A and B are shown apart, each in its own frame.
Chain A
Amino acid sequence: MSSSGVLGMETEGTPVSAEAEAAAREERLLLARLRRGDPGAFESLVNTHQDRLYDFCVRMLGDREEANDLVQDVFVSAHQNLSRFREDSKLSTWLFRIGKNHCINRLKYLKRRGRGRSEEYGEQSEGALAELLGSPPGPDAALESAREQARVQWAISQLDPDARMLVALRDIEGLSYEEIVDITELALGTVKSRLHRAREKLADLLGRLEE
Chain B
Amino acid sequence: MPAQLSHRETKALFIALADEELPADKAQAVRSHLDGCGECAQGWQRYSATVLRVRNVEKQKAPPALASMVMTRVKRQRRFGLKRLHQMHAHYRLPVEILIPLLIAAAVGAFLIMSAP
Interface assignment of A184: CB less than 8 Å from any CB of chain B: no
The reply on A196 being an interface residue by CB < 8 A is yes
Q: Are A46 and B70 interface neighbours, CB within 8 A?
A: yes
Q: Is the CB of B50 within 8 A of A3?
A: no
Are the CB atoms of B60 and A55 closer together than 8 Å?
A: yes
Q: Are A3 and B34 in contact (CB under 8 A)?
A: yes
B15 touching A199, Cβ below 8 Å: yes
Evaluate whether A1 and B45 lie within 8 angstroms (CB atoms) in the complex, with A68-B63, A149-B58 already known. yes
Once bound together, how far apart are the Cα atoms of A52 and B60, in whole Å?
8
Q: Which residues of B contact A76 (CB under 8 A)?
A: 70, 73-74, 77
* Bound-state Cα–Cα, A72 to B17, Å: 37
Query: How many A-B contacts if CB must be within 8 Å?
Result: 127
Across the two chains, which residue of chain B brings its CB closest to A170? B19
Q: Are A51 and B74 in contact (CB under 8 A)?
A: no
Interface of A is mostly: helix
Q: How far is the CA of A171 from the CA of B69 in the complex (A)?
A: 29
> Is A178 interfacial (CB-CB < 8 Å)?
no
B48 with A152: CB separation less than 8 A = no
Expressed in whole angstroms, the Cα–Cα distance for A144 and B41 within the complex equals: 27
Distance (whole angstroms) from the CB of A120 to the closest CB of chain B? 12
Instruction: Point out the residues of chain A lying under 8 angstroms from B54, CB to CB.
Output: 152, 156, 167, 171-172, 199, 202
Q: How far is the CA of A11 from the CA of B24 in the complex (A)?
A: 13
- A167–B15 Cα distance when bound, in Å, is 12
Find A207's partner among B14, B46, B71, B83 (CB 8 Å cutoff): B46
Q: Are B67 and A195 touching (Cβ within 8 A)?
A: no
Which residues from A are CB-within-8-Å of B14?
A: 196, 199
Check A195 against B15 for contact (C-beta < 8 Å).
Answer: yes
Known: A145-B58, A149-B58. A9 touches B20 (CB 8 A): yes
Q: Which residues of A contact B46 (CB under 8 A)?
A: 203, 207
Whether, in the assembled complex, A92 has its beta carbon less than 8 Å from a beta carbon of chain B, the answer is no
Question: Contact at B67–A50, with CB atoms within 8 Å?
Answer: yes
18 CB < 8 A contacts A-B: A1-B44, A1-B45, A3-B41, A4-B27, A7-B48, A7-B55, A9-B19, A11-B20, A50-B67, A51-B60, A55-B60, A71-B66, A72-B69, A148-B53, A156-B54, A195-B15, A199-B14, A199-B18
